[in-house]
Structure 1
Amino acid sequence: MKTTTEELYQLFTQHPIISTDTRKIAPGSLFFALKGDKFDANTFAQQAIKAGAAYAVIDNKDYALSEQFLLVDDVLTALQNLARYHRGQLTIPVIGLTGTNGKTTTKELINAVLSQKFKTLATQGNLNNHIGVPLTILTIDRTHEMAVIEMGANHQKEIALLCTIARPTHGLITNVGKAHLEGFGGVEGVKKGKGELYDYLAQADDAVAFVNSDDKVLVEMQQARTLKNVIYYGKNSSPDNLVSGKLLDNSPLLTLKWHDKTSSSHNVQSQLTGSYNLDNILAAICIGRLFGLDSDEINQGIEGYQPKNNRSQIMKTATNILICDFYNANPSSMFVAIENMDKLQAARKVMILGDMFEMGAESAVEHTLVIQKALGAQVDERIFIGKDFSSQQTEVDNTNLIHTTFYLTAEDAMIGLKQNPISNATVLIKGSRGMALERLVELF
């Protein structure tokens, strides 16, 4: 007999830890036998029980060896439905956020701010997909007062699905740009996919959307929907903004000044680099203000956040300052990173840019545009790595390629950097995750 969601939830209340990997079984947990591209975890269910799981949720009756094996129609659907059921028992604010760039940094900043006053749960790492979101929801317990849920997507309808699981009471789209163009079907597809968060919020009378008033695309998307509660923030001093702010210093850590409608201005120094992160910081300040934090609590949250996971992360070596931003890359994030280097105050500046993945038919054009953008920046040296960048070298004016080097692979770049070491410079390293540019760090 199949196990229902209600029956599964009763067991979850007694065993509120979910395991999906037999190598990391928590004693007394519920093991969900999720399928992968190259494996069927039903075959590992018995191993999970032997490793200490209380029950194993499976969707192949051939592996139902005892009452500890719970049969369902589909394990992934059962996990998502369990998370939906659990979410239905919660009454706390849930802030859902998505966007092309800055999701994880903004999520961490919001968490750092709200945690000054509330017990807040936030998405761990990048558990932001159709598996990660339900797993995150299922870690919320009765002691939590807030939740910040990151939602990622590379196809349309994914954000809509994740909203049915997380059921956000508040929402934020950081921006809409050129990423996952292959899956979304172009920039308009990205806009439609990310806009599914606004679509969800528009269905509820009391849902709140936070909108960057400087971003014309987001404002247009918001105005095209019947969102009943909109809170604005931005760099401009619009009276409509709950919070406004501006950059004071970027050398390379960001210092900013901010104010809201009711208070005088406040200065705060962050541990982040990249002028593009100003919007992310202002979003966190705005959300903190809405939930009643005072300026000292907000500033403590911003100042205390240390970036990690190679996102706008500063690393000082014996001879260089590295801006490690190689967790991911797309044309939009490349452009703002290049613009930041152009404006950055440093004696010597070097840009190392790696290929962007998932560009589909737009790959050649987008890589050429990034090369052209980089050639126009005020930096001392440019290094491009990867077959996509290298294949576009002939598409740009060779007279502009002074102090510019192309390497077909990261291994070639490592050889070149060993032969021509870089020192006494501020170095941006940025590329898609698949380029594994972290290998270059040891050369600086």
Structure 2
Amino acid sequence: MSYSIQDISSLLGISPAPVQPARISRLLTDSRKLTSPSETLFVALTTKNNDAHLYVSELYHAGVRNFLVSKIMPEWQNFRDANFLHVKNPLASLQKIAAHHRSRFDIPVIGITGSNGKTVVKEWLYQLLEQDFNIVRSPRSYNSQIGVPLSVWQLDPTNELAVFEAGISQPDEMEYLEPIIRPTIGVLTKIGEAHQENFNSLQQKCMEKLELFVNSKVLIFDEDNDLVTSCVDRMVLSQKAFSWSRKNRDAHLYISNIEKKSESTRIEYSFLKFDYDFEIPFTDEASIENAIHCLAVALYLHVIPKGIAARMMSLEPVAMRLDVRQGKRGCLLINDSYNSDFNSIKIALDFQQQRKMNRPLKKTVILSDILQSGIAPRPLYKKVAGLMEQSEIQRLVGIGPDLTKNADLFTTPEKNFFESTEKFIESEIWKDFKNELILLKGARKYHFEQIGTLLEDRIHETVLEVDLDALVHNFNFYKSRLEPDVKITCMVKANGYGAGAAEIAKTLQYHRCDYLAVAVTEEGIALRNEGISLPIIVLNPEVGGFEELYNYSLEPEVYNFRILKAFIKDSERRAITNYPMHIKVDTGMHRLGFLSDEIAEMLQLIRSQKGLTARSVFSHLSASESWVFDEFTHQQMDTFKKVCDQIEEGLGFKVNRHILNSAGIERFANNQHDLVRLGIGLYGVSSSGLEGLRNVCTLRTTILQIKQIRSNETVGYGRKEKLENDARIATIRFGYADGLNRQFGNRKGKVLINGHYAPIVGNVCMDLCMVDVTGIPANEGDTAVIFGEGLTVIDLAESIGTIPYEILTSVSPRVKRIYIKE
């Protein structure tokens, strides 16, 4: 569907009307995700971290002509063929547009909120109901003040059912989302502690969430939860209740029995005085509760119990995040088999472009038929073909009968079509993939995991999982603590603190980080070869390495006369002028840097040449995380200011200043200067104990074998540990060659298995170690978490008297990195 720009202007009460006619079918809030400029209305949102008005000029030159703004910038005065809808609050206007769009549809709309389980319930409802309805649903976790209107904007006349989720993080937010979703069927999932910090109590949060259902026809919830039931009564929503209970036989839906088996759960229930049952392929409590919510919705929508039972057993886990893995023959694999509808394809293609950057990788898409779209195949795949063309896809593999029949619509330079996944695998064309960025996008029934296994470089049960969304959260968390004009240099040295510098840098570049910093030139070259164009500081350059620095546009730290003179000589020999350098001064850490009494001589040397120019002056705090040394830290910062003043006076121009590291950002807001350097905090570790960061890296492996060992037996090399009691000893696939320090042996370290701590017994081996799982519900093949949620790198470091930096950077290259993103 589309609206005229005049209709939108009228809806928002804007006068005078836009001067240029246009039809709007796309609402854009992220300038990096532009696809169809002529049909786009860009909503310039201002947040604590960003001001989207800064990207209007860039979008105008990319072809966008319609903008929703809260201010008019002087540089736009020549954009006479553009429409600027000037409003007080662009976010409120975006929500008003979406609410108007929603009002045009008279179909069942399921609204889901709660603390946990929203996305799983949404996706399981789609799996259960897609045979009966043409469904539109929120992409991924689009449940915020911005995400909800963008989700609802997807509604079109072919839809017969909508499923939208709503999330809030503070009071009074739901009142803005309710008119946008305006659910006819409400589902309240589990209420927990998530985002509790902005609410006075769980009761307040529950009542805020229930605001979503004030105009619903029915509300589905667990009446056994006293908090929820109480809040429903207080909100006067009881008359809309379609509640379920494991205790109350008179509930609308009575769960009479739950039987957990080894790999499934059988659920018996009574509905309208008839008894039924079904089975789900899950055994955890969260899945059981989510399935019962879905059951209630399906029954309310008159899906017959026999059909529900058949579909429940086919429910699949919800992979809420796509992941990036190394493929064979120089390929990079983006696995996004989360769903395969038109809107999710757009999101995945955008992420693929983020990952390509300037690298010489062929963009390849392996796509299955799109099922239950509600659109006839011909027009549907014409739209898909347009997406592929806009995204400049170079190779397309289409799998499924509908794609095969519509192959002629695709203009991709290389294309192959197969009736099934099996036919594609049999063709063996996948063996020819080389230096390609491959997006896997398949509906569940096509089992694209088989293709992923063939294309993946390393099938390894030991993985370091890197949460890119958590990384971005931490980046924005620190950015929100800075003054508006202060820039950020992000540290990606030591292979991005072990997380993988290339993928970390790509994510930071996409989110408009200002600078990157690496330790050595080779690290900077590797990033340039991966398509990173951000300025990169090399902190420990070599005296003879200026040519490589220059060839790859890397900016060196200069910390003593030897390297300064060498770089001056090299720059003059190449007739280079004003090449940027960063001057390191020693204010008390006494590692690298010019001392205060060397500054005058350094300035004289810099003034005598033209090859190098000072881009910044910086120093390093010795103990910014420690309150004990605050007096010394302030002394360092005072010295730094005096030295910077001296340098600026001697050079005759202003240079950027930076002294704060992660802990410094946390504790010394008055010394932000022009730049800050974000290191360990970016990866979720606060040296000063600051709360609000998210864990980025999770290292996990598997249990290879479990044995029952008698007391007085020894475990491991050197017979260092004799068991005092009979014990269950598990061997896991992780040793010192993978990055596990041998000091963790003999019960100094531990791992996390199924929520229980298991101490490491005996000496750590090269490739393996043994843990005591006595009394722990553990089986061969279960996951063991080395560090992550529940067992942090801080915990590990403290157990052997080291620091989190060492734990993170010690993870071996042979451990596969997997990058995940919602």
TM-score strictly above 0.5: yes
Instruction: Give yes or no for the alignment of 1:132 onto 2:147.
Output: yes
Tell me the equivalent position of 1:431.
789
**Whole-Å separation in 2 of the counterparts to 1:257 and 1:70:** 58
- Asked if structure 2 preserves the Cα contact closer than 8 Å seen for 1:94 and 1:148, the reply is yes
Tell me the equivalent position of 1:286.
296
Change (3 A) 1:59 1:6: closer
Count of matched residue pairs: 366
Deviation string 1:360-411 (CA, Å, 9 cap, x unpaired) is 9999xxxxxxxxxxxxxxx989xxxxxxxxxxxxxxxxxxx998459xxxxx
Change (3 A) 1:252 1:21: same
* Deviation at residue 223 of structure 1 after TM alignment: 2.1
- Read off the aligned partner of 2:52 and give its amino acid letter: A
Larger RCO: 1 or 2 (CA < 8 Å, sep 6+)? 1
Moved more, 293-302 or 101-110: 293-302
- Asked if structure 2 preserves the Cα contact closer than 8 Å seen for 1:380 and 1:403, the reply is no
**Whole-Å separation in 2 of the counterparts to 1:267 and 1:127:** 31
Tell me the equivalent position of 2:116.
101
Change (3 A) 1:296 1:45: farther
Instruction: Give yes or no for the alignment of 1:193 onto 2:205.
Output: yes
Tell me the equivalent position of 1:21.
30
Instruction: Give yes or no for the alignment of 1:32 onto 2:43.
Output: yes
Change (3 A) 1:402 1:105: farther
Instruction: Give yes or no for the alignment of 1:182 onto 2:197.
Output: yes
* Deviation at residue 67 of structure 1 after TM alignment: 4.2
- Read off the aligned partner of 2:789 and give its amino acid letter: G
Change (3 A) 1:167 1:147: same
* Deviation at residue 196 of structure 1 after TM alignment: 2.6
* Deviation at residue 101 of structure 1 after TM alignment: 1.4
- Read off the aligned partner of 1:424 and give its amino acid letter: E
SS state of the match for residue 78, structure 1?
helix
Tell me the equivalent position of 2:86.
72
The 5 Å alignment of 1:344-363 reads: none
- Asked if structure 1 preserves the Cα contact closer than 8 Å seen for 2:115 and 2:191, the reply is yes
Of 209, 217, 241 in structure 2, the residue corresponding to residue 207 of structure 1 is 217
* Deviation at residue 327 of structure 1 after TM alignment: 11
Change (3 A) 1:235 1:67: farther
**Whole-Å separation in 1 of the counterparts to 2:176 and 2:136:** 21
Deviation string 1:214-268 (CA, Å, 9 cap, x unpaired) is 2121112112232221101233462223353643335345443444225442322
Change (3 A) 1:442 1:135: same
- Read off the aligned partner of 1:155 and give its amino acid letter: Q
Tell me the equivalent position of 2:725.
none
Deviation string 1:88-115 (CA, Å, 9 cap, x unpaired) is 2222222212111111111212222232
Change (3 A) 1:402 1:225: farther
Q: TM-score, normalised by structure 1?
A: 0.68
- Asked if structure 2 preserves the Cα contact closer than 8 Å seen for 1:209 and 1:231, the reply is yes
- Asked if structure 1 preserves the Cα contact closer than 8 Å seen for 2:257 and 2:268, the reply is yes
Tell me the equivalent position of 1:123.
138
- Asked if structure 1 preserves the Cα contact closer than 8 Å seen for 2:65 and 2:83, the reply is no
Tell me the equivalent position of 1:298.
308
SS state of the match for residue 53, structure 1?
coil
- Percent of aligned pairs sharing the same letter: 21
Tell me the equivalent position of 2:717.
none
* Deviation at residue 297 of structure 1 after TM alignment: 3.4
Change (3 A) 1:380 1:192: farther
Of 45, 68, 76 in structure 2, the residue corresponding to residue 57 of structure 1 is 68
Tell me the equivalent position of 1:338.
none
Tell me the equivalent position of 2:549.
none
- Asked if structure 2 preserves the Cα contact closer than 8 Å seen for 1:33 and 1:40, the reply is yes
* Deviation at residue 274 of structure 1 after TM alignment: 1.8
**Whole-Å separation in 2 of the counterparts to 1:250 and 1:13:** 59
- Asked if structure 2 preserves the Cα contact closer than 8 Å seen for 1:93 and 1:145, the reply is yes
Tell me the equivalent position of 2:105.
90
Change (3 A) 1:55 1:177: same
* Deviation at residue 42 of structure 1 after TM alignment: 1.5
SS state of the match for residue 267, structure 2?
strand
Alignment gaps of 5+ in structure 1: 330-354, 364-378, 382-400, 407-412
SS state of the match for residue 244, structure 1?
strand
- Asked if structure 2 preserves the Cα contact closer than 8 Å seen for 1:116 and 1:297, the reply is no
Of 169, 181, 188 in structure 2, the residue corresponding to residue 154 of structure 1 is 169
**Whole-Å separation in 1 of the counterparts to 2:260 and 2:80:** 64
Deviation string 1:129-181 (CA, Å, 9 cap, x unpaired) is 10001111111111111211111111111122211322222212212222223
Change (3 A) 1:269 1:177: closer
Q: TM-score, normalised by structure 2?
A: 0.39
- Read off the aligned partner of 2:205 and give its amino acid letter: G
**Whole-Å separation in 2 of the counterparts to 1:52 and 1:296:** 53
**Whole-Å separation in 2 of the counterparts to 1:117 and 1:66:** 49
Alignment gaps of 5+ in structure 2: 1-5, 323-337, 339-448, 471-683, 693-727, 731-746, 753-759, 772-778, 794-807
Change (3 A) 1:144 1:12: farther
- Asked if structure 2 preserves the Cα contact closer than 8 Å seen for 1:173 and 1:194, the reply is no
- Read off the aligned partner of 2:24 and give its amino acid letter: H
The 5 Å alignment of 1:233-272 reads: 233-236=244-247, 238-242=249-253, 244=255, 246-261=257-272, 263-270=274-281, 272=282
**Whole-Å separation in 2 of the counterparts to 1:174 and 1:115:** 21
Moved more, 295-304 or 171-180: 295-304
Structure with bigger gyration radius: 2
Moved more, 210-219 or 39-48: 39-48
Instruction: Give yes or no for the alignment of 1:275 onto 2:275.
Output: no
Tell me the equivalent position of 1:391.
none
- Asked if structure 2 preserves the Cα contact closer than 8 Å seen for 1:93 and 1:170, the reply is yes
Change (3 A) 1:93 1:321: farther
User: C-alpha root-mean-square deviation of aligned residues, in Å?
Assistant: 4.6
Moved more, 105-114 or 243-252: 243-252
**Whole-Å separation in 1 of the counterparts to 2:21 and 2:181:** 18
- Asked if structure 1 preserves the Cα contact closer than 8 Å seen for 2:259 and 2:265, the reply is yes
Of 38, 41, 45 in structure 1, the residue corresponding to residue 56 of structure 2 is 45
